[in-house]
Amino acid sequence: MRDEALDTDFIIDTDNLHFPATGLKITSVLRTHKLALLDKSLVVKELGEIHSEIMREVDNCLRMALGL
């Protein structure tokens, strides 16, 4: 993983209380400045869910990345 995160990166750490529900296996980075859209037909399966507390923080990173 990178040494320095950007302001628009959100790190989901294995130490986060809600990490197990994500379905991720290791600490991961959501890079909100690198968005991609996929058609639902391309999604093979869901890993898990993002808790609303984490999603609020991700929303803040998205606002910053989009200049809102």
Residue with tokens 């990178």: 2
Q: What is the CA radius of gyration of the chain?
A: 13
At 56 the pLDDT is 94
At 3 the pLDDT is 66
Number of domains in the chain: 1
Instruction: Say if residues 10 and 32 touch (Cβ distance below 8 Å).
Output: yes
pLDDT tens digits along 26-56: 999 999 999 899 999 998 988 899 999 999 9
Range of the domain at 31: 9-66
Is residue 3 situated within a structural domain? no
Is residue 17 situated within a structural domain? yes
Tell me what percent of the residues of the chain surpass a pLDDT of 90.
Answer: 74
Report the DSSP beta bridge partners of residue 31.
9
Is residue 4 situated within a structural domain? no
Is residue 57 situated within a structural domain? yes
Is residue 33 situated within a structural domain? yes
- In angstroms, the Cα distances linking 8 to 21, 48, 57 are 23, 22, 10
